[in-house]
Chain A
Amino acid sequence: MEAGEAKSKKAGGPRLCCICNQRRPVLKRPKTLQQICRECFYEVFEEEIHQVIVVNRLFKSGERVAIGASGGKDSTVLAYVLSELNRRHSYGLDLFLLSIDEGITGYRDDSLETVKRNELQYGLPLQILSYKDLYGWTMDEIVKMIGLKNNCTFCGVFRRQALDRGAALLKVDKLVTGHNADDIAETVLLNILRGDIARLSRCTSITTGEDGPIPRCKPFKYTYEKEIVMYAYFKKLDYFSTECIYSPNAYRGFAREFIKDLERLRPRAILDIIKSGEDFRIATTTKMPEQGTCERCGYISSQKWCKACVLLEGLNRGLPKMGIGRARGGINGDHTRETKAGSKSIETKQCGSLDF
């Protein structure tokens, strides 16, 4: 590490940081292609996130905010940066860590240990909610029953709702997640490929669910994954990085790889895709799914029963295919809501852990 100082020629000879013009650069920013030193990197990285927070008015003083924390790189860096900015700029926020225990042995149990360390390191109170407590099933049990096909659908649907329930339990005003620019570009592409207009129109919003009980926002919307990982590396932040043992999530994987290939050719491509997603306009004549509430649990739903209830009912009745894909079985199979809406609505397709 110290050896690096002596070998500055590797940093492109006498070249200096584009910002301070004093120190040796350690990083090429994907966003601007600038070569910058470690100190200037910390400063621009944190300042840009602060600007995103201020310009988009993500928070109000006195609010209670839960950080969806998985122990992975994004949420760990988010917890660190947000508590730092909260102090530095006196946001006046009460921050909490909120973790979901899906019940995946050898994966989530380990990552939760990371979150528990983060609780102490950053002095943020931690709330953990488990699928077992909320739904009566762990992911291990679900996979045992349904196998490795569609399991990500269950996990994604359950997690989204679990986070909302956890947020309600903590009585927070907002939930923030660590979705970064790469994730959002990937989701824009996926939603275009799937023809999912409803999700396409909201996946680039920095804040969603403002009409619901707990709005969600994404302070890393414009933050590159590369910079998040570099930041965690240089700051030696403690994060967990093992792929979920059940999740090949192949479809998302292809989009991810494509985005990374594009980034190599032209790093700005990521921001450009987000911009395209933002600028997408949907004809006002297009019928969108009507948001209502689930008759069973009261959660927001465009159908009679919400997706989580349909999936859960399938599990409990031993019919795990219920609610998967386009085969509409039983509960929402009738056309009640569609006919009420007066025309056929665009179906929002479920897939994977799309927490947008």
Chain B
Amino acid sequence: MQLTLEFGGGLELLCDSEKIHKVNVDLPNGADDLTMKHLLSWVRTNLIKERPEMFMKGDTVRPGVLVLVNDCDWELSGQLDTTIEDKDVIVFISTLHGG
């Protein structure tokens, strides 16, 4: 499915300094839905070029990284269990840089 992934707050530096990535992600084998859990591991494998520990900790984003699915805080949609659909826009913003 076609997705738009956006990286901000410094996270873009981990993926070739490119903020917006239009990507095609396939459903995992045997699964009916694409969840954020799967998408995160896909991002880590396919987009993150350096310092993956700045983006992830364990199987989720590093604390301090905000995630929005279609401009909505993923804490409202079940975080890792959030189901992703075709044409969704997922934004990752790091809050860890100075202000």
Contacts and interface: CB of A to CB of B under 8 A. Distances in A.
Contact of B77 (A12, A75, A183, A241): A12
A242 interface: yes
Contacts of A35: 76
B99 A70 contact: yes
A230 interface: yes
B95 A4 contact: no
Interface string A264-305: 100000000000000000000000000000000000000000
A10 B98 contact: no
Nearest to A229: B95
B44 to A, nearest CB: 19
Nearest to B87: A3
Interface stretch (A162-170, A255-263, A315-323, A328-336): A255-263
Contacts of A72: 97-99
Contacts of B70: 1, 3-4, 7, 10
B98 A70 contact: yes
6 contacts: A3-B87, A26-B71, A74-B98, A233-B66, A234-B71, A241-B9
Instruction: Choose among A35, A178, A182, A260 the residue with the greatest number of B CB atoms under 10 Å from its CB.
Output: A260
Given A26-B76, A27-B73, A243 B99 contact: no
B66 A241 contact: no
A151 to B, nearest CB: 15
Contact of B66 (A3, A11, A76, A230): A230
Instruction: Choose among A7, A234, A241 the residue with the greatest number of B CB atoms under 10 Å from its CB.
Output: A241
B-side interface size class: 20 to 34
Contact of B97 (A26, A73, A183): A73
A70 B98 CA distance: 9
Interface of B: 8-10, 13, 62-64, 66, 68-73, 75-78, 82-83, 85, 87-89, 91, 93-99
A233 B93 contact: yes
B10 A11 contact: no
A31 interface: no
A173 to B, nearest CB: 23
A182 B63 CA distance: 12
Nearest to A25: B76
A226 B63 CA distance: 11
A11 B68 contact: no
A75 B99 CA distance: 6
Contacts, number: 102
B45 to A, nearest CB: 24
Contacts of A145: none
A83 to B, nearest CB: 17
Interface residues of A, number: 43
Given A229-B95, A233-B8, A233-B91, A260 B64 contact: yes
Interface of A: 1, 3-4, 7, 10-12, 15, 24-28, 35, 70, 72-77, 178-180, 182-183, 225-226, 228-230, 233-234, 241-244, 256-257, 260-261, 263-264
Given A257-B63, A260-B63, A264-B63, A230 B99 contact: no
A263 B72 CA distance: 19
A243 B98 CA distance: 7
Given A1-B71, A72-B97, A12 B76 contact: yes
Given A256-B64, A256-B96, A257-B63, 12 more contacts: A7-B70, A7-B88, A10-B76, A27-B73, A72-B97, A225-B64, A229-B9, A241-B8, A241-B94, A242-B10, A243-B10, A260-B62
Contacts of B83: 10
A4 B97 contact: no
Contacts of A229: 9, 66, 93, 95
A7 B95 contact: no
Nearest to A179: B99
A262 B75 CA distance: 16
